[in-house]
Chain A
Amino acid sequence: MPETWTHAFEHPEWWAAVWTGLFAAGIGVSLARWTAKKRRRRLGEATIPGLPLARDAALLLALACIGVALLGPRLGTRMIRTTASGVDVVLLFDVSRSMDATDIPPSRLEHSRQAALDLLARLETGDRVALAAFGDRGVLLTPLTPDRDALVELVGALDTSLIEPAGSNLGAGVREAVEAFEAGSERPRIVVVLSDGESPPERRALGMDAAIAADVRVVAVAIGTEAGGRIPNHGLPLRDEQGHIIVSQRNIQRLERLATATDGVVFSADAWGSIDGAELNIAVRRDAGNTPGAPVERRVRAVRVAPLAALAFGLMLIEALQPLRLRIRRKRSTLRRAALATAIVAFATLGLAPPTQNTTLNLLEAQLRHHPGDVRLLIELGLARLERGRQQAAQRAFLAAALGTSDPKLAALAYYNLGVAALERGSYEVARDAFFDVLALRPGDREARFNLEWSLAVLSNETPDPKSSRRLATERKLGAPGRPEEVSETTETGRPSETKTSPQTLDPERRNRWLARIEDDPAAALRSAVRASGRALHRKRIVW
């Protein structure tokens, strides 16, 4: 498949099979038609009509539609719903010689470093960041990590002699940066390119295909000035082979093309090399969501299979029923036409109906078959059953969830939903017990307290205010109670040593002072990463 097409399809690996199949079918049909034509000539063309071309063409077209659908054409965008847990960011540094230019003193690289450090300081706790750089080739310096301190030290150690040979190959850099993202991860992926955009004429590739194929958004930061600046070389300006002083200029158009193609944005440094850090952070965290654990919607490229499958379906049906159409016309049966139209409308209406609740239920049940003890899935299953009015089955799911977890927050959530399901069903004793359990686990839960009081009032033949009770009692809680870190606080993480001695202890302030003194050697880590970067890493394709 041509390289420029790869980003247009989700499954380019099918290209060879599709091409071979279509070619074989085309050759086979042509050969059959040719032999039939010869036979017809032999038997007498006047008495025997030729093979209908339209029917063969319809079948071949249907096969082509299926083939293109198999490649997974990417057209337009669609929204996906995920759980917010932070963004994955790769900081891609341009370490070509032009980044030493002094048009924005002290150097472009220093300003890109400042922009990166500012962004690192602004990112949220759940975000992960990796570091990559490019000169004549791209190098992934670190994997995605939550450890900002390590990255701050590595960013400080970057310089323009890091990657040999010198050069500027943005495309290679983007392709290498994309390798940092984990296959199958749902987190938003962003590559922040910190570059002047300048490149030699033979290095025009931008790595757009790799970024688009991996659903990566590129946010570019253009460093430098349009007027340009000289590049220092041992105290003197750098000169070309003819002895002319080289003046390096910022090329924002290339960065704009890359960012626009990937639904990203370009930030241009001002004459002093400054970037609006807050705006950059907003652009980077656009799809991240505000609350960790909360559902968040995100736009991704859509793969359109259904229209092509529908076209193939229609073509095959028409081809098979072509004689039927002729017969209907001959008989002029209005009744048959009406019946056919009704059938088509009925099928279309049935087919275009929105997904049913049953589908969600089936999916959740299928997921539970894979992970039978998954408490969150059990809660979601309970909620789905409740939506379908199957309160008893929902109660069973909530109870299984409550009994199956050691995490008090999840158990409280499950008991609360159990209580609500019981209330809806009129089982006030069950509801009362469930809300008691919630309050035992979370004494401050006001909704559970209110619902408990309501249940007790009903059980003692009192008449509580029906409006307020309905408002609170039927308000179900969704199964996304918090970040995994919150879950971990209450759980056992290992077996301590049997013979533990008490060492000299440090208070946190002293410890932090000591740790600040501990010196890492980021330059050694960078050298090690650059030396071994020739070995390529190939990942599985990222799927949505």
Chain B
Amino acid sequence: MTEIAWAGLRAMGIEAFDRPSWILAGLAAGLLCAVWSLRQRPSALGLPSIAEARRAGARRFDFASRCGLGLRVAALVTLGAILASPVGVHTSPPEPGFGLDLVLVLDASGSMRALDTQVGGESRSRLDLARLVVSRFAERRIHKGDRVALVVFGNSAFTQCPLTSDGRLLAAALSRVEAGIAGEATALGDALALAVKRATAGGGQAAPGRVAVLLTDGRNNAGSVSVEVAIALAASAGLRVHTVAIGSAGEEVAMESNGAVAGRGLRFERHDVDTRTLERIALATGGRFFEARRAGDLEAVYHAIDALERIERPMPSRTRRQDRPQPLLALAGGLLLCEIGIARVLRRRMP
């Protein structure tokens, strides 16, 4: 019986009571109420014979009255349990800074408009796919306690979102990334250097906890920082950079025009990703180089990075006590409402 009660309480998120003696008070009150009500002689109208009484609707057992009594006793016990201060265990979000500091570097140059990927059977641009996959990856990492920043690049690079553990706002920042937002070219060196700057910001992790994931479909053709300098900066800052090349290699692909939907205003262009440079960046910084030629590959790549950057440390305590009277209050209110409905409204009362 006790086990069943506890199972019910746990289902309501209640793990313990601060003042358990009040439950006894509730039980005692319920018992007193029941004994007293059962000992009471109900009000009655005198009828000349049993047959007459039966015809008038008299019964040996007054179901509504007993049901009302049962509900009253249950409501009193529930209120006793509320007065016993029920508490539950609340799981807080991970303490910021527990995991890695992860900088996601996303190419938003004009070539990311290439319509060579499919999402849900529909032709989508590379950037659409990248946004989707990177967003899922970021959500997973934040859930593990990482902080994630987003750097976007084209002609130059800028910080779309600084290091944060807020998945919703990061997802909102990702959804705002559009092809050409930072220009049409590809400033790979600037982007990598800015990622180093974001990862080494004050309050960030020590070197082993810094990781960047750079996704691009092009080659460095703009910006003020050379790739070599950016690699040196990343290596000296201890930033591990995983690089991801996306897009079909050297083939002519349909491009989505600015603001145009697929199928309207299409033109065909050839873009070539510089895999050699990306490989060099990854090797020099202790990261890995990945290629994603098809839509499904990109998801697999980010899962591989996810597996690669595991944290082997015990999760700090994220639980704390929380008052949980609301489920019991709702139950007590419901019971009392039912009692009023059955014993006061439906049942014909005679004073």
Contact = CB atoms under 8 A, between A and B. Distances in A.
A515 B36 contact: no
B306 to A, nearest CB: 11
Contacts of B228: 504
B49 interface: no
A457 interface: no
Interface stretch (A203-211, A269-277, A391-399, A492-500): A492-500
A126 B90 CA distance: 23
A537 B332 contact: no
A49 interface: yes
A491 interface: yes
Interface residues of A, number: 131
B90 A66 contact: no
Nearest to A52: B351
Interface stretch (A22-30, A254-262, A462-470): A22-30
Contacts of B114: none
A59 B336 contact: yes
Interface stretch (A110-118, A191-199, A317-325, A382-390): A317-325
A218 to B, nearest CB: 21
Nearest to B82: A309
Contacts of A494: 100, 208, 211, 240, 308-311
Contacts of B321: 363
Interface stretch (B59-67, B193-201, B213-221, B264-272): B193-201
B302 to A, nearest CB: 15
Interface string B5-29: 0000000000111111110111011
Contacts of A410: 314
A508 B236 contact: yes
A56 B83 contact: no
A406 B313 CA distance: 7
A503 B284 contact: yes
Given A316-B75, A484-B98, A518-B194, A351 B83 contact: yes
B95 A484 contact: yes
A60 B337 CA distance: 9
B263 interface: no
Nearest to A27: B345
Interface stretch (B125-133, B159-167, B247-255): B159-167
A360 to B, nearest CB: 9
A146 B36 contact: no
B110 interface: no
A185 B92 contact: yes
A514 B229 contact: yes
Contacts of B350: 48
A485 B333 contact: no
Interface in B271-310: 282-288, 308-310
A488 B208 CA distance: 9
Contacts of B83: 306, 309-310, 313, 351
SS class, residues of chain B in contact with chain A: mixed
Interface residues of B, number: 128
A32 B345 CA distance: 5
Interface stretch (A224-232, A240-248, A523-531): A523-531
Contact of B19 (A62, A145, A351, A529): A351
Nearest to A531: B176
Interface string B24-56: 111011001100110010000000000000000
Interface in B302-347: 308-323, 325-326, 329-330, 332-333, 336-337, 339-341, 344-345
B82 A537 contact: no
B235 A505 contact: yes
B158 A521 contact: yes
A147 B16 contact: no
A140 B85 CA distance: 38
A309 B286 contact: no
Contact of A532 (B176, B318, B325): B176
A305 to B, nearest CB: 5
B15 A488 contact: no
Interface string B76-116: 10011011110101111101111010000000000000000
Contact of B92 (A151, A186, A366, A407): A186
Interface string B224-249: 11001101110111001000000000
B175 interface: yes
B340 A147 contact: no
Interface-central residue, A146, A303, A317, A524, by most chain B CB under 10 Å: A146
A125 interface: yes
B344 A59 contact: yes
A511 to B, nearest CB: 5
Contacts of A48: 350-351
Interface in A143-166: 143-151, 153
Interface string A40-67: 0000000011111000100110110011
A496 to B, nearest CB: 5
Interface-central residue, B19, B84, B204, by most chain A CB under 10 Å: B19
A492 B168 contact: no
A281 interface: no
A216 interface: no
The 8 closest A-B pairs by CB, nearest first: A146-B203, A143-B169, A521-B158, A366-B15, A350-B21, A150-B162, A503-B284, A147-B201
29 contacts: A59-B336, A60-B340, A142-B162, A143-B164, A143-B170, A144-B96, A147-B202, A147-B204, A148-B201, A153-B159, A309-B82, A313-B29, A313-B80, A317-B76, A320-B36, A323-B40, A351-B21, A374-B316, A494-B208, A497-B283, A497-B287, A499-B283, A504-B231, A515-B200, A519-B156, A520-B194, A521-B156, A532-B172, A537-B172
Given A317-B32, A484-B95, 10 more contacts: A29-B345, A145-B149, A145-B162, A145-B163, A184-B91, A317-B29, A353-B19, A374-B317, A493-B209, A506-B233
